[in-house]
Amino acid sequence: MGMRGGAHGRLAPRWKRPPSRRRGLRALCRASAGRRESAASILFTCGGTGGHVYPAVAVADRLRSLVPDLAIDFVGSRDRIEWDVVPKSGYTVRSVPCAPIHRPLSSWRNVRSVLVQFLGLLKALWLLARKRPRAVVGTGGYVTVPTCCAAWLLRIPVFLHESNAYPGLATRFLVNTLRCASQVYLGFEEAKRHLRGDKLVVTGNPVRAGILVKHQKADFGRGATGALADVFNDGPSRDRDSFRICIMGGSLGAQKINEVLRDCVGGILTKFTKVSVIWQTGQGYYDEVDQDCGVFPGRLAILPFLHDMPLVYSSCDLFVCRAGAITCSELVAARKPSILIPSPNVTDDHQTKNAAALEKAGWTVMLQEEDFTSRKLLDTLDGLLCDNGRALKRMQVALQDAGENRACHDIAESLASSLEL
C-alpha cells in the first residue's frame, strides 16, 4: 500500500501541498499573471477589412524596426483579408471566433452573435494565457472585442486605435463601457466627442510606408506586371501628360461603383482621350464584370484586387473610391485628389463623416451613393478636368498643405515607451 504525505504516511499540511490544477478563470488569471515569456512580445488584433488590417501591419513594421527582438503576433478571423495579408507581411496570425452585432440590437440574429463572441472570448483567454504578451493592440473589427476583453480579464494592457471620425461599435464598447484601454489613439479629432476618458490622443491614421515615398514621374509604373503593366507602359500612359484614374471599392469591392463604372467606362475613355483607368472590382465582383478590354488596349486594366498600393498611389492622378478611414488617410498622405462615394452600408454612417472631413479641407469631392450615377460621374470628371484641370489643381494645391503623416512613428514610439521595450 502506497504511502501518502511523505515517509510518515500522513497527509501533508494544505500549505505544503502542490497547487491543484483548477481550470477556473481565477486560476487562469493568476497563473498567466505570474508568467512571462523570455522575449518581449506584443499581440495585434484586427480583422474584417483592409482598413483594420493595414494600419496594424504598418505599426507592427515600425515597432519591429524600433525593437528588432520584439516578438509580434496577430489575432484575426479565418477567411477574411487578414488571413492573407498578415502572413505575407511576415507575421503569424491565429484565429478567434467572432461575429457582427446586427441592427436593430433586438434582432434575433444577435443571439448567435453573442454566443460566437463568448466562444471567441474563451479561445482568446486560452491564447493569451499561453502567450502572455506585454500588451494587446486592437485596430478595429469585431475580433478585437473578445481578444481585448480577454486581455483585460488577464490584466494585460490594452491599446486601441480608432481610424474613423465616428468610432465603431467595438471601440465604443471597449472604451466607454468596459473602459479597458490604457491608451486610445485616434485618426480624427472629431472622434473625441464620442469617447469618454482622458486617455485619448489624436495621432492620425497609420499608412503603409511605401505610400509615403515620393516618386518622380519617370518612375511611375516601374515594377508593374500583368494588366497594370499594360496601362502604365503602353498607349497614352507613356506620355508625361497622361492622366490615370484609379477606381476601387475598398478591399471587399463595391457593387454600386462597379455597376456605374460598367455603364460609363467606355464613355470616360472616349471623352477623355489621354485618360487611362485602373479598375479594382473586389474579389466577389470580378467575375460579374465584362473582361473584354480589347476596345481600349493599354488604357483599361480590370483587376479583382490591387496588391501593390504604393505603386498605384504613386502612379495615378485621381481616385474614385469609398471613404474608409484608412483609404482617406492614404489619399491625403500620398497627396492625391479624389471623388469619394461613402458606403451607406456601414455602421453609423461613419464613411460620410470621413469624406466630409476631407471635403471641408478641399481635398475631395463627395458624392452620396443615391446620387452616384453614370451621368453624375462623367459630369464630375468633366468639372475637374475641364479648363485645363483648374479645379483638380486647386485640390492638389490644398493637399500640399496637409500635415506630414507621422501616425506609425508616434504610435510605435508611444507603445515602446509605455511598455518600456
Cβ distance 300 to 265 under 8 Å? Answer: yes
Number of domains in the chain: 2
232 and 104 within one domain: no
| H helix or E strand, kind and range, residue 85 | helix 82-88
- Do 133 and 222 lie in one domain? The reply is no
Could you check whether the bond before residue 19 is cis, i.e. omega within 30 degrees of 0?
A: no
Q: 386 exposed, middle or buried (CB, 10 Å; 0-12, 13-18, 19+)?
A: exposed
What type of residue is 388?
Answer: N
189 and 289 share a domain? no
Cell numbers 469619394 label which residue? Answer: 340
**202 lies in the same domain as 230:** no
371: CATH: 3.40.50.2000
Domain-embedded: residue 16: no
- Which of 111, 122, 167, 135 minimizes the C-alpha distance to 56? 135
CA distance 337 to 8: 85
**167 neighbors 195 (Cβ within 8 angstroms):** yes
**Do residues 155 and 219 share a domain?**
no
**Residue 312, domain member (yes or no):** yes
Asked whether the beta carbons of 130 and 70 are under 8 A apart, the reply is no
Domain that holds residue 98: 25-207+405-418
Note whether 233 and 98 are same-domain residues: no
Which candidate, 346, 315, 332, 314, places its Cα nearest to that of 398? 332
The structure's pTM equals 0.79
Residue appearing with cell numbers 484641370:
389
Q: Determine, yes or no, domain membership for 201.
A: yes
Q: Is residue 170 part of a domain?
A: yes
Question: Which strand (E) or helix (H) includes residue 82?
Answer: helix 82-88
Tell me, yes or no, whether 95 lies in a domain: yes
Report the chain's C-alpha Rg in angstroms: 25
Domain co-membership, 345 together with 358: yes
DSSP 374-387: HHHHHHHHHHHHHH
Cα separation of 117 and 107, whole Å?
16
61 in any annotated domain: yes
Q: Are residues 202 and 215 in the same domain?
A: no
- Look at residue 85 and tell me if it is in a domain: yes
147 and 244 belong to one structural domain: no
Q: Which residue has the cell 506585454?
A: 134
Contact, 70 vs 40, CB < 8 A? yes
Q: Residue 309: what residue type?
A: M
Task: Verify that 223 and 358 share a domain, yes or no.
Answer: yes
How confident is the chain (421 residues) per 10-residue block, as mean pLDDT? 46 47 51 54 93 94 95 93 93 93 80 92 97 96 96 97 90 95 94 93 91 58 60 55 87 88 92 92 81 71 87 92 93 96 86 92 96 96 91 95 92 96 84
Q: Specify if 315 maps to a domain.
A: yes
Residues paired with 73 in a beta bridge: 43, 92
Give bridge partners of residue 94 from the DSSP assignment. Answer: 75
| 151 and 235 together in one domain | no
Cβ proximity of 353 and 362 under 8 Å? no
Q: How many CB atoms lie within 10 A of CB 397?
A: 10
Are 172 and 244 in a shared domain? no
Whole-number Å distance between alpha carbons of 158 and 147: 10
- Residue whose C-alpha is closest to residue 143's, from 131, 127, 155, 132: 127
The H-assigned helical ranges of 169-225 are 169-172
78: enclosing H helix or E strand: none
Burial tier of 18 (Cβ tally within 10 Å: 0-12, 13-18, 19+): exposed
SS3 147: helix
